[in-house]
Structure 1
Amino acid sequence: MPKATGKAVKPVFPLLPLIIWAVLVPSKANEFKCPGGNNYELSYCASQALKRSNSSLESQLKASTFEAWKSAVGEVCAEAYAPYSQGTIYPLMLMRCDENLNQTLLEEMKGLGERQ
């Protein structure tokens, strides 16, 4: 029989919401409908679009140019939306700004025959 050490056993219950979130969020990501109808879906969709445009630019630019581009875009978007930096929608605004600038550059990089 184990001896009592006098130490209290900490319950797992405070971690339960984190465990549930970790299990459900990946499966919920597949259920998001883009462009999204709430902040969670909008943020998810914006992050996916930004990942795609970053990946496309990364494959077309030299590594140093791509890093310089990301840095410049990040600074410009942060400054443009600085008045909203305390709001809950700020991260979404930054992702959309980054994505819009990425898409503009991707459009400029198209060949003459590819432009619409």
Structure 2
Amino acid sequence: MKEIIDRLLLEKISLAGIARALQISELWVQQYVNQKSKNVSQEMQVRPKPKCRLTVQMDELWSFVDRKGDEQWVWLAMDVVTREIIGCYIGDRSGTSAQALWNSLPAVYRQCAVI
């Protein structure tokens, strides 16, 4: 059953859709996904870079989570040359969140990047 759920998640089927199709509790599916996410590394693997000028583009987008009053901002940092996403933070639209995005960058970017 878990292998089927994993395949459905990769197909980007909603949790509610998975629960309906497999006739299982949506709560159980959510708890299964939450448990799986604890085992996923939160560190991004970036190809090694030479210590030289690196150019980074940063942007944010927002969405509502659960209800309209719960606005969340997704902050992304991308290497302009390789188009790799090198940093990410989800939070509000404050200076603290911008600093958290900066802290999520690999050390070579914090040392050499032009933002």
Compute the TM-score of the two structures, normalised by the length of structure 2: 0.22
Structure 1 or 2, whichever has the larger Rg, is: 1
Identify the structure with the greater helix proportion.
Answer: 1
Greater length-normalized contact order (CA 8 Å, ≥ 6 residues apart): 1
Compute the TM-score of the two structures, normalised by the length of structure 1: 0.22
